[in-house]
Chain A
Amino acid sequence: MIEIRFHGRGGQGAVIGAEILAEAAFLEGKFVQAFPYFGVERRGAPVTAYTRIDDSPIRLRTNIYTPDHVVVLDPTLLEIIDVTEGLKENGWVIVNSHKAPGDIDVGSHRVAVVNATSIARKYGLGSVSAPIVNTSILGAVSKATGVVSIDMLTSSIRNRVPSKVEENVQAAKDAYNSILVDQNAR
């Protein structure tokens, strides 16, 4: 079973992002589960969401404590949350940031970086001040982890995104093609 934990802020699309990833894996024939953990429903508040992917039906109905990979939709969360808590060895930390991967401190974990904010703005996803970055960062998740193919991801986006469908698909593809990986990572 592969477990992925999303850290985002209300309005960035972490919850829907976890669902889009699950649907992409479903389209590849996997069993899936996606669910959120959030408090008050307001913009900017930290949100956690989870995706599980497996070859057999998923019975575990608990939060994810030892994720295989972690996705961070807002780089400021790195300062207030230990996003790598419980992250398995060799797990990816995929961060939305304009920084170089070497400038992101997540201990010894592998880091992939994509500027999902600028990609989302480029395609007019969300507002300029509060862009919706979920589809962009999922492109980076596909590329870094390989848990779903970019083709299935774009199919899932087409199934799930309610508006600006092709813009979201393009955003995922842009991110897929523009991720930066820490060359010094194990």
Chain B
Amino acid sequence: MKKVLSGNSAAAYGSMLVRAEVISAYPITPQTKIVEKIADLIANGEFKTEFVKVESEHSAMAAAVSASLVGARTFTATSAQGLLLMHEILHWASASRTPIVMVNINRGLAPPWSVWADQTDSIAQRDTGWMQFYCESCQEVLDTMIQLYKVAEDKDVLLPAMLSEDAFLLSHTSEIVDIPDQEKVDDFLGTFDPEYKLDVNRPMSFGSLSMPHQYYYEFRYKIAEAMENAKNKIIEVERDFEKVFGRSYGGFLDLYRCDGADIVLVAAGSMSSTIRIAVDEMRDKGHKVGLARLRVFRPFPVEEFKKLAKDVKIIGVLDRSFCFGYEGAFFTEIKSALYNMDDRPLVKGYVVGIGGRDVTLDVIFEIIDDCMKTTDTKEESFKWIGLKG
């Protein structure tokens, strides 16, 4: 059924469609409406779930880990400062192998206060052992939530997954969303029934001490291995999802008009939609420009980037985040992925949209123009676009 929904409402409907059994969340702008919508759905009797009220995001994630450990399908949502407060428990979640799905609304970090789009909050959780997905539309938010439970709960994966959507540009943007039939989602997902869980009839302990000579090292290796396993699973699940629901999002790298492209822009999240318009305009003028939308940041799509890079002259990477003391995270990681190629393209980095600064068509054309003017293919380049004087 088609409805006009915001990215926040899409996430709330997603949690109902996957039949999340436990939800613990603490409200924070611009995520608050996810919690409010879930509360509405529970109050009007549409959604049967255990909503755990908590006093902070740290507790929200702790409750989510506990719920997942007893074998409940668990959902939570947060943003920015809230995500940072969860940081300690994010590690607990992945190392406990709890397949929690969380929606994070990408928002700028204070100070100064900003409630607008900025991906630094989730990039700062890169090393927590969570899968990371970035969405472009409200429909993709809903569909990806369904996909993520299927990936996360797979016995060869069993890792938590974070779905990020840009503050306001998706969280508060209402657009047409096709809500899938409940029966189809039920058939697609099945129920969550982990082999190891907290069960009074089958006692076992989780998270106890592991001495250096015992298995801590191997537990960490297993997480690394699970991330590798997730790569195939993400592709497989999206293929299956497309068969049932008729929609797909390109897996790891959503390629748009990259065939024969000399210049490819890489971006994640809502700005990708606007970039598609710029790409079309450039193609109409005969310029070979494409977009590779980075949909999955962890596990990182090294092979996909290598394949893309074979036939491309310049890759322009747009980061809506910044790692102080170096550069944009996507820029760094894409260069690293291509380093061992014999004939790699020039990779140029651009910071845009920090703190919700509007990424307009003019901004994108400026970047395309900068790439087109590049003559020295060994030139290193990294720029903040549109800084005010």
Q: List 7 A-B contacts (CB under 8 A).
A: A32-B176, A35-B173, A60-B274, A61-B169, A62-B358, A62-B359, A62-B360
Contact with B along A42-63 (1 / 0, CB 8 A): 0000000000000000111111
Contact of A59 among B174, B274, B358 (CB under 8 A): B274
A59 close to B4 (CB less than 8 A)? no
Beyond the given pairs A15-B172, A26-B4, A35-B169, 14 more chain A to chain B contacts, judged by CB atoms under 8 angstroms and listed by A's residue number, are A22-B175, A33-B173, A33-B174, A34-B173, A34-B174, A35-B172, A35-B174, A36-B168, A60-B273, A61-B271, A61-B273, A62-B274, A62-B358, A65-B360
Contact at B274–A61, with CB atoms within 8 Å? yes
Given contacts A22-B4, A23-B4, contact A31 B176 (CB under 8 A): yes
Nearest CB on B from A173, distance (A): 22
Q: Which of A32, A34, A58, A59 has the most CB of B within 10 A?
A: A59
- The residue in A22, A35, A36, A60 that gathers the most chain B C-beta atoms within 10 A of its C-beta is A35
Taking Cβ atoms with an 8 Å cutoff, the residues of A that contact B are 15, 19, 22-23, 26, 31-37, 41, 58-63, 65
- Interface readout for B347-367 with A: 1 if CB under 8 Å, 0 if not? 000000000001111000000
Within 8 A of A (CB), among B167-198: 168-169, 172-176
- Whether the Cβ atoms of B173 and A61 lie closer than 8 Å is yes
Residues of chain B contacted by A60 (CB below 8 angstroms): 273-274, 277, 361
Task: In the A-B complex, list the 7 residue pairs whose CB atoms are closest, starting with the nearest.
Answer: A35-B173, A59-B273, A34-B174, A23-B4, A61-B270, A61-B273, A62-B360
> Distance (Å) between the CB of B32 and the closest chain A CB?
9
With a cutoff of 8 Å between Cβ atoms, the chain A residues found around residue B288 in the complex are none
* Given A60-B273, A61-B273, A61-B274, A37 and B176 contact (CB-CB distance below 8 Å): no
Q: Give complex CA distance A174, B4 in Å.
A: 26
The main secondary structure of chain B at its interface with chain A is mixed
Q: Which residues of A contact B79 (CB under 8 A)?
A: none
Closest residue of A by beta carbon distance from B117: A61
A contact residues around B358 at 8 Å (CB): 62-63
Q: Is the CB of A32 within 8 A of B273?
A: no
Q: Give the shortest distance, in Å, between A85 (CB) and chain B (any CB).
A: 14
Chain B residues 253-297 with CB under 8 Å of chain A are 270-271, 273-274, 276-277
The answer to whether the Cβ of B29 comes within 8 Å of any Cβ in the partner chain is: yes
Are B274 and A19 in contact, with the CB atoms below 8 A?
no
Could you give, for residues 64-102 of chain B, a 1 whenever the CB lies within 8 Å of some chain A CB and a 0 otherwise?
000000000000000000000000000000000000000
Q: How far is the CB of A185 from chain B (nearest CB, A)?
A: 31
Residues of B within 8 A of A (CB): 2, 4, 29, 168-169, 172-176, 270-271, 273-274, 276-277, 358-361
Return the contact of A32 from the options B174, B271, B359, B361 (Cβ within 8 A). B174
- Collect the chain B residues with CB atoms within 8 Å of residue A61's CB: 169, 173, 270-271, 273-274
Complex Cα–Cα for A104 and B115 (A): 35
Residue of B nearest to A58 (CB): B175
Q: Which of B2, B271, B273 counts the most A-chain CB atoms under 10 A from its CB? A: B273
Q: Give the distance in Å from the alpha carbon of A15 to the alpha carbon of B360 in the complex.
A: 22
Q: Is the pair A33, B360 in contact by a Cβ cutoff of 8 Å? A: no
Considering the complex, give the chain A residue whose CB is closest to the CB of B273. Answer: A59
Q: Are B175 and A32 closer than 8 Å at their CB atoms?
A: yes
Contacts of A19 in B (CB 8 A): 4, 174
Chain B residues whose CB sits within 8 angstroms of the CB of A23 once the complex forms = 4, 174
Docked pose: A59 CA to B256 CA in angstroms: 13
Smallest CB gap from B116: residue in A: A37
Known contacts A22-B4, A41-B29; is-contact A62 B361 (Cβ 8 Å): yes
Measured between alpha carbons, how far is A94 from B360 in the docked complex, in Å?
A: 27
A22 to B176, CA, bound (A): 10
CA distance A31 to B271 in the complex (A): 19
A63 to B172, CA, bound (A): 13
B169 touches A36 (CB 8 A): no
Q: Is B169 touching A26 in the complex (CB atoms < 8 A)?
A: no
In the complex the two chains form, what is the Cα distance from A59 to B270 in whole Å?
9
Expressed in whole angstroms, the minimum distance between the Cβ of B279 and any Cβ of chain A is 10
- A38 smallest CB distance to B (angstroms): 9
| A27-B86 Cα distance, complex, nearest whole Å | 41
Chain A residues near B361 (CB, 8 Å)? 60, 62
> Which A residues touch B168, using CB under 8 A?
35-37
CB-CB < 8 A to B172: which residues of A? 15, 35-36
- Give the nearest-CB partner of B173 in chain A: A35
Q: Which of B174, B270, B277, B359 is in CB contact (< 8 Å) with A22? A: B174
Contacts of A58 in B (CB 8 A): 175
Q: Are the C-beta atoms of B277 and A59 separated by less than 8 Å?
A: yes
Bound complex: CA A60 to CA B175 (Å): 12
**Most chain B CB neighbours (cut-off 10 Å) among A15, A19, A61:** A61
Complex Cα distance, B316 from A103, in Å, reads 52
**With A and B bound together, what is the CA distance between A33 and B270 in angstroms?**
13
Closest to B114 in A: A39
- Chain B residues near A31 (CB-CB < 8 A): 175-176
- Point out the residues of chain B lying under 8 angstroms from A63, CB to CB: 358, 360
Chain B residue nearest to A156 in the complex (CB): B4
Q: Closest approach, in angstroms, between the C-beta of B270 and any C-beta of chain A?
A: 5
CB-CB nearest in chain A for B274 = A61
Nearest CB of chain A from residue B273's CB, rounded to whole Å: 4
When distances are taken between beta carbons in the complex, the residues of chain B under 8 Å from A15 are 172
- A26 pairs with B277, CB closer than 8 A: no
